Structure 1
Amino acid sequence: MRTQVAIIGGGPSGLLLSQLLHRKGIDTVVLERKTRDYVLGRIRAGILETGFVNLMREAGVADRMDKECFVHDGTVISHGDTQFTIDFKDLTDTSVVVYGQTEVTRDLYDAREAMDGTVIFNAENVQIHGADSDTPHVTYTTDGVEHRIDCDFVAGCDGFHGVSRQTIPLTVRREYEKLYPFGWLGILSETPPVHEELIYSCSSRGFALCSMRNENLSRYYIQCSLSDSPEDWSDDAFWQELKRRIPSEYADKLVTGPSIEKSIAPLRSFVTEPMRWGRLFLCGDAAHIVPPTGAKGLNTAASDIHYLYNGLILHYLDGDDTGIDTYSEKALARIWKAERFSWWMTNLLHRFPDQSEFDLKMQAADIAFLRDNRAAQTVLAQNYVGLPY
């Protein structure tokens, strides 16, 4: 098989790149290790920056998103029973939208099918060959039979545990990582959201987040120990702990119900450099991970896709390699700013096991300064709605 761009990974970033390139007449093949149903069964974040929304529109897959999404003009920050709003619209004249990653992925799969895009599921033993040459190719197996795809470029959109990053030799790549000493226990419940905006809560018992997917589907999180497992937490225990961590105004009106999904996610900050090796380009979680605080994971992947898509368009339509030659530099410049923001938000709102009384006072002062200072709120808002590409 021959294609112009082989894309490893059938999640939202790989599918979005494929759809964008397809609409410009550039051929792609997407390889996904799992099935479509498996990919759509993964519960992920759903806060989309304006840049991501605009990419979906450019890809021609925004109709359902535009009809069903929640537009958010701000967010609530609380510290104990004290709360204040960061007004994105007032501070930046920009909003974010809530539209689940599962729905983004579903829309992209439907679009690829409608346009006869090639997505190969159950692709096992994927290997990238000759990425540092002018003739790269990818091999994979399905049903025990090996197949080969010759291509011009390879886009590695296969996540943190995928093969793409590992293809870059250790003598070339350098990795930066910070592991946080806690995780997030999250549940999904068929209950109305407790508030129209997200609530980020810093309490003496730990962090909590009140989010949503739609008017009857809520997503809630609490900071927990890395040694915990979801089975350690009954639904009732979760709801009781969440109520203790959010302002009483919201705890009193919180609608509870059975969880339909419950999981624990560890938190890490991670970046690999460079994000290009020869004709292999890393995108999204294959190159970087952020803590979920600040909702940057899917959005950082989108910025990678923006830079790579535009670079490939220049290459194929104009014979100009400037975009692909500067891809890693441009992507990393924005990624490190998103890493800083997620790291800062995580430190601002969580309880760390080694915090001293002085550290807690500094954390409280930091939140108070944010509450009282418009310039500080503007910086938060600019980062939250998304820095320009």
Structure 2
Amino acid sequence: MLVRDFPNKRIKGLLERIKNGLGWRYQQFVEPTIDLYGDIPSFVKYQYQLKTKVLKHKAVYIYANRRNIGDYISHLGVREITGIQGGELYCSKGGHKDLLAYLERCREKGVVALIGGGGLFQPAFELFWNSLLASKVEFALIGVGVNQMAGRPLLPRELLSKVVQRAESIHVRDNFTLEYLQTLNEAEITLGVCPSVNFINRSTHGQKGDSTNTLLHVVHPSDLRMSGVSVERLRENLRQFCKEEGFCYRESDNMGTNVTKAIKDIRSAALVVSSRLHGCIMSYASNTPFVPLYCDKKTEYFVDSHTDKKGYEAVQFQDMKFTRGVLKKELTEISSYSNVQGVLQRKIKENYDFGESLRAKFF
């Protein structure tokens, strides 16, 4: 039996590596310019609301797009804290043509742009920021963040300074972004937790889901590889830990449009190990135990700004002994639900207070 199964296992492993390799390359190099925003229904829905909603309200929401759960759930959080009706515009490169077509019309009609959340202060969005400034549309920044990562520069300082100067209100998601933007301009900037926390907390009524015996690995293949981490080795070590401790291993890349399923998967996990920022944020919002793996700075900024947790460089989890020690320790040191909820509710209220100030200012 073992002899007969061996080729099948080798083929399965080879196909998995090919799939993962093609997947992250498609997301990194193709989707930014040929973008269906997750799937064909999402594309059709977006085009329909362009025609029916964008110019019908006093506000328009601008964010990257729906194909990344983190970007989309942050946008839903922005809607949650502002409570203002409005259409949507995508600021990723794939949506730039539609964005340009509507920005000028938004200015003419006095529509205010509510921008965020997400890590929009990176060169991939430089075209968007230049177009926004040229349009002279009034705008506010909500739940946005700066991300430092090896091999990727930040948005040019001169451009970012102009964005900060022009913004009517700015509410950022971590201390590093707050301090960095304050070095560029003396604008008033407030700090809050990622708006997605508000959306998750309301949609789940602040209740932890029924835990299953599952370790959920929320993985960011491209960023891990860019930071020198072997995704295959990391995955192998986590699977080995699950085998030793009797857990079921599950994996998600947090891409797609099914927010409900993404939240459910997080809430039902016994433990989340995440190299994606919003794998950590969604765990935090639902009081699910999680281990942050750093392959860029944005996750570290979130952890340091809003939690008392310890994070780890993802490369450390290529060592099985280290992996085993950290995960066992995490499972025995879970914070009490009531203590976490107390901190969460304070941060959630701060976000709602910012939303109220926006309504008073613009609407």
User: Do these two structures clear the TM 0.5 threshold for a shared fold by scoring above it?
Assistant: no
Q: TM-score, normalised by structure 1?
A: 0.28
* Higher strand residue share: 1
Identify which of structures 1 and 2 has the higher relative contact order when contacts are C-alpha pairs closer than 8 Å and 6+ apart.
Answer: 1
Q: TM-score, normalised by structure 2?
A: 0.30
